[in-house]
Chain A
């Protein structure tokens, strides 16, 4: 059951431009959302999170937007850099526990 969906398996963006990665969820009990970045042969690295009481959280070049009515969140990276090239995972947890439910990931390629 795909409770967290990342419908774009890949995205290519030019250096300096904005990268927008999207994520949809189905479980209305989710109240905490996270984005992780993963390089090959490494574990996921935490990027940024947002709780359901907010609609935006910003950390440097990374901003996460949450639209609860649409059950949609997005990660904006501005400006994109070649080092941002990685797989990005959206994850969510429900108020019933600690488990993170992950999407399948979006592979971002930032070209010079």
Chain B
């Protein structure tokens, strides 16, 4: 069964450093998403991406964040200068169409900022 994969599973970084989280969405999917879950809190939407551009983003997704689809298979989330409060589980998701279609989630990358 096709699945969304994410690497690395755990990333530890120093405050102020740049990190890139990587995702390989399901191959025939067209819509891509990033969410995060801070420990003890709910899963929060960050950004959606379609046709090589951002289609929607939340207030959390400020200038420190960027997304890219560098080739036909990868989808990345970059945090330019990490802060302590960026420590969270980051989930990538994809769907084969936009609305009224379920989003399939990857296993997540745990980001720890020291």
Contact = CB atoms under 8 A, between A and B. Distances in A.
A41 interface: yes
A44 B48 contact: no
Nearest to B43: A102
Given A89-B43, A101-B45, A43 B105 contact: yes
B41 A99 contact: no
A98 B106 contact: no
Contacts, number: 60
Nearest to A49: B102
Interface residues of A, number: 24
Interface string B85-107: 00000010101001110111111
Interface in A74-112: 89, 91, 93, 95, 97-105
Contacts of B104: 46
A43 B55 contact: no
A63 interface: no
Interface in A42-82: 42-46, 49, 51
Nearest to B9: A41
B25 interface: no
Given A98-B31, A102-B44, A51 B105 contact: no
B58 A99 contact: yes
A44 B91 contact: yes
Given A43-B91, A105-B42, A100 B103 contact: yes
A34 B102 CA distance: 8
A3 B105 CA distance: 21
A104 B99 contact: no
Contacts of B107: 41-43
Given A98-B55, A103-B42, A46 B103 contact: yes
A32 B42 CA distance: 19
A98 B44 contact: no
Interface of A: 32, 34, 36, 41-46, 49, 51, 89, 91, 93, 95, 97-105
Interface of B: 4, 31, 33, 35, 41-45, 48, 55-56, 58, 91, 93, 95, 98-100, 102-108
